[in-house]
Amino acid sequence: MCGIVGYVGPKEAKDVVVEGLKKLEYRGYDSSGIAYFQDHSIEVIKTKGKIIELEKKLVGQRTCGKLAIGHTRWATHGRPTDVNAHPHRTPRVALVHNGIIENHAELKQELIKKGYEFVSETDTEVLAVLIHSKLDEGLTPMQAVQKSLAAVEGAFALAIIIKGAEDQLFIAKNLNPLIIGLGKDEMLVASDISAIIRHTNRFIILEDNEMGVVSNSGCTITDFSGKKITKEVKETSWNPTLAEKEGYKHFMKKEIFEQPRALADTLSDIVDNERFRINLRDFPLAKEEIQNISRIVIVACGTSYHAGLVGKFFIENLCGLHTEVDLASEFRYRNPIIDKHTVMLLISQSGETIDTIGALMEARARGAKIVSICNVRESTIDRKSDYTIFTDAGPEIGVASTKAFTAQLMCLAAIALFLRQEINGKDHHMTTKYVEELLKIPGAINQILGNDSAIQEIAREFFNYRDFLYLGRGNNFPIALEGALKLKEISYIHAEGYAAGEMKHGPIALIDEEMPVVVIAPRDRYYQKTLSNLEEVKSREGIIISLGTERDEKLMSLSKAYMSVPPIDELFYPLLTVVPLQLLAYYIADFRGTDIDQPRNLAKSVTVE
Ligand code: M6R
């Protein structure tokens, strides 16, 4: 949460920083700001609201020269106001921060006693004042930053400018991500790659408890005590156009339509096309170790958690391994039972979700092997795992996750098939059959997307309703949860996902003629039972929007509106059924005129607890 950008180089620094902030706006967008030097004084321009408000404030400002830092905020401590927006400053220091300074209250009291004053309600301001106080004691800028870092507790990614060191950016990291982009005669600092790929594909990743000084001629990285650290330069293959809307009204729509490509790319990395086998090169467990796995524990948050719930079906059905699924925010504080025969499977689009990282550390301390499914190479979760399977979805910018979700499902199916191959090598023909089914999925999604105008019409009919219920059974129950989450996060309509069989245990009391109920009922082993649940809704005047397999006349006759998916092996229906629900949520939100790519109160990477 919160995005940081810094620039040193020959271009107009504030333009580069603002352009970078726009790429990071998905990380938080309740206020933003920028700081730079003007006539040897620090100039800070910041405002409540989105970056477009900052741009308005910057119109008519003089050029700022070669160095600037900027921030887009998702508020933790202190309301989203002009004053609480970053950068925070003193006459000698300005800084931007992602994270939480946990001991800010104590530090603030000490500084107030020494006569320093504060203007904001944030935890961050204390660090700017602390560095200033160290400069007042006569320390050099570098020493002042080092001494201050030694005094703070908590999570931070920081970019700092200091009067008297006007061609240098000071940076530091603990728990929150920060990278340095190495351009030609220019250097960038950012929370993630999307802010720098227009300028360079070469970057360095800062690790916890590392700091650096960046100038246009290079950077020096040290630990907090000043000991030099040699860093590896990495390269990204992401191309800048993947982070553009390319004619779509919203990133979310573009990303929904990218799913066939994303899934085909994800598959091409892991399927051996000649032998129809799953090939997870360098998987960290030998065959015997795989045969000794006692349990798989899947841990994730939000949409990735829903992918995990589907993954449980894949793993239990395809390889008979006991699988549990947990929310990362619960797992890490629950004294979980983990041993060296447990495989921990983490799922995260961003690879930076703090709760998922916390769960990873907990499981690692208890001896589990850590395998991750992740969309961002070199993210924290990728680097801390024993093995990562990458979703090849490309950058996902819309806050509502879509293409990353289906790509996660594809990886989960692949892991399940891989474990099956290793545990029970003999039934080669069954693996081949499943792999063939997976290879059909990109085409089947294309077919669903070809029908989006029909789903848009359904959205037009229903966008004014206040509450929605989503029902599904078996492997489509998680899709009911995901459909409801998509609708609530981008349209602000109250929506609940339920296991269809649970209806009669409570939620059926909600049904009346004002309640649209989305029923997921593909032709699978649950079909007849789901139809009975649908009849229960219908006989209580509920409005049914159903989602079935191709032209299902029976389902159509019971429903006010009908959506469909092509037939596929029943285990893999979730990879298809989620797509019409993504489109339904998207079009409902579009008719309501909400801010689809940046819904209120949300951020793409949740890097605070
Ligand atoms: O990056 P992650 O997959 O770890 O993120 C987890 C959740 O924050 C994320 O899926 C969130 O629920 C999305 N906004 C859902 O659309």
Residue 450, pLDDT > 90, answer yes
CA of 135 from ligand 1 middle (Å) equals 41
Give the range of the structural domain holding residue 473, as residue numbers without chain letter: 452-592
Whether 477 is covered by a domain: the verdict is yes
- Strand-pair partners of 443: none
State if residue 362 touches ligand 1 by the CB under 6 angstroms criterion.
Answer: no
Whether 552 is covered by a domain: the verdict is yes
Order of strands, edge to edge, in the sheet holding 543-549? Answer: 494-499, 467-472, 516-520, 543-549, 561-565
Whether 42 is covered by a domain: the verdict is yes
Residue 77 CB burial class (10 angstroms; 0-12, 13-18, ≥19): middle
Both 413 and 314 in one domain: the answer is yes
For the domain that residue 423 is a member of, what is the CATH number? 3.40.50.10490
- How many domains does the chain divide into? 3
- Give yes or no for a cis peptide into 87 (omega within 30° of 0): yes
Whether 602 is covered by a domain: the verdict is no
State if residue 303 touches ligand 1 by the CB under 6 angstroms criterion.
Answer: yes
For the domain that residue 27 is a member of, what is the CATH number? 3.60.20.10
Q: Please tell me the residue having the least CA distance from ligand 1 atom 4.
A: 348
Cβ contact 273:432 at 8 Å: no
Predicted confidence at residue 228, as pLDDT, reads: 94
State if residue 301 touches ligand 1 by the CB under 6 angstroms criterion.
Answer: yes
Predicted confidence at residue 197, as pLDDT, reads: 87
Q: Which of 289, 572, 573 is nearest to 564 (CA)?
A: 573
Both 80 and 177 in one domain: the answer is yes
Both 456 and 424 in one domain: the answer is no
Handedness of CA 244, 382, 211, 122 (dihedral sign): positive
Domain termination residue (choose one: 420, 449, 478): 449
Both 580 and 465 in one domain: the answer is yes
- Within 8 A by CB and 6+ apart from 316, the residues are 322, 323
Predicted confidence at residue 241, as pLDDT, reads: 64
Whether 318 is covered by a domain: the verdict is yes
Both 489 and 556 in one domain: the answer is yes
For residue 408, the ligand 1 atom closest to its alpha carbon is 3
Distance between CA atoms of residues 322 and 325, nearest Å: 10
Q: Please tell me the residue having the least CA distance from ligand 1 atom 11.
A: 302
CA of 122 from ligand 1 middle (Å) equals 26
- Residues with catalytic function: 2, 604
For residue 605, the ligand 1 atom closest to its alpha carbon is 1
Q: What type of residue sits at position 106? A: E
Helix H or strand E segment including 326: strand 323-327
How much is the pTM? Answer: 0.80
Distance between CA atoms of residues 84 and 46, nearest Å: 9
Both 482 and 390 in one domain: the answer is no
Q: What's the whole-number mean pLDDT along residues 567-580?
A: 98
Both 177 and 292 in one domain: the answer is no
Question: Which alpha helices (H) appear in 450-476, and where do they start and end?
Answer: 452-462
State if residue 191 touches ligand 1 by the CB under 6 angstroms criterion.
Answer: no
Whether 504 is covered by a domain: the verdict is yes
Both 10 and 130 in one domain: the answer is yes
Both 436 and 384 in one domain: the answer is yes
Confidence class of residue 426 from pLDDT cuts 50, 70 and 90?
low
Predicted confidence at residue 608, as pLDDT, reads: 64
CA of 491 from ligand 1 middle (Å) equals 17
Residue 585, pLDDT > 90, answer yes
Cβ contact 573:524 at 8 Å: yes
CA of 28 from ligand 1 middle (Å) equals 13
- Locate 264 and state its tokens: 């085909």
Q: What type of residue sits at position 358? A: G
Mean per-residue pLDDT over the chain, rounded: 92
- Within 8 A by CB and 6+ apart from 110, the residues are none
Cβ contact 586:481 at 8 Å: no
Predicted confidence at residue 242, as pLDDT, reads: 66
State if residue 401 touches ligand 1 by the CB under 6 angstroms criterion.
Answer: yes
Residue 504 CB burial class (10 angstroms; 0-12, 13-18, ≥19): exposed
Strands 210-215 and 202-205: unpaired
Distance between CA atoms of residues 342 and 294, nearest Å: 6
Q: Please tell me the residue having the least CA distance from ligand 1 atom 7.
A: 302
For residue 381, the ligand 1 atom closest to its alpha carbon is 4
User: Which tens digits make up the pLDDT trace of 267-315?
Assistant: 988 888 777 788 888 899 988 899 999 999 999 999 999 999 999 999 9
Distance between CA atoms of residues 374 and 269, nearest Å: 14
Both 489 and 526 in one domain: the answer is yes
Whether 606 is covered by a domain: the verdict is no
For residue 353, the ligand 1 atom closest to its alpha carbon is 4
Handedness of CA 572, 574, 579, 584 (dihedral sign): positive
Residues, the chain: 609
State if residue 381 touches ligand 1 by the CB under 6 angstroms criterion.
Answer: no
User: Which tens digits make up the pLDDT trace of 511-562?
Assistant: 888 899 999 999 999 999 999 988 888 888 889 999 999 999 999 999 999 9
Distance between CA atoms of residues 88 and 132, nearest Å: 12
Whether 241 is covered by a domain: the verdict is no
Predicted confidence at residue 180, as pLDDT, reads: 96
Domain termination residue (choose one: 174, 204, 236): 236
Domain termination residue (choose one: 408, 430, 449): 449
Both 529 and 402 in one domain: the answer is no
Residue 140, pLDDT > 90, answer yes
Both 114 and 21 in one domain: the answer is yes
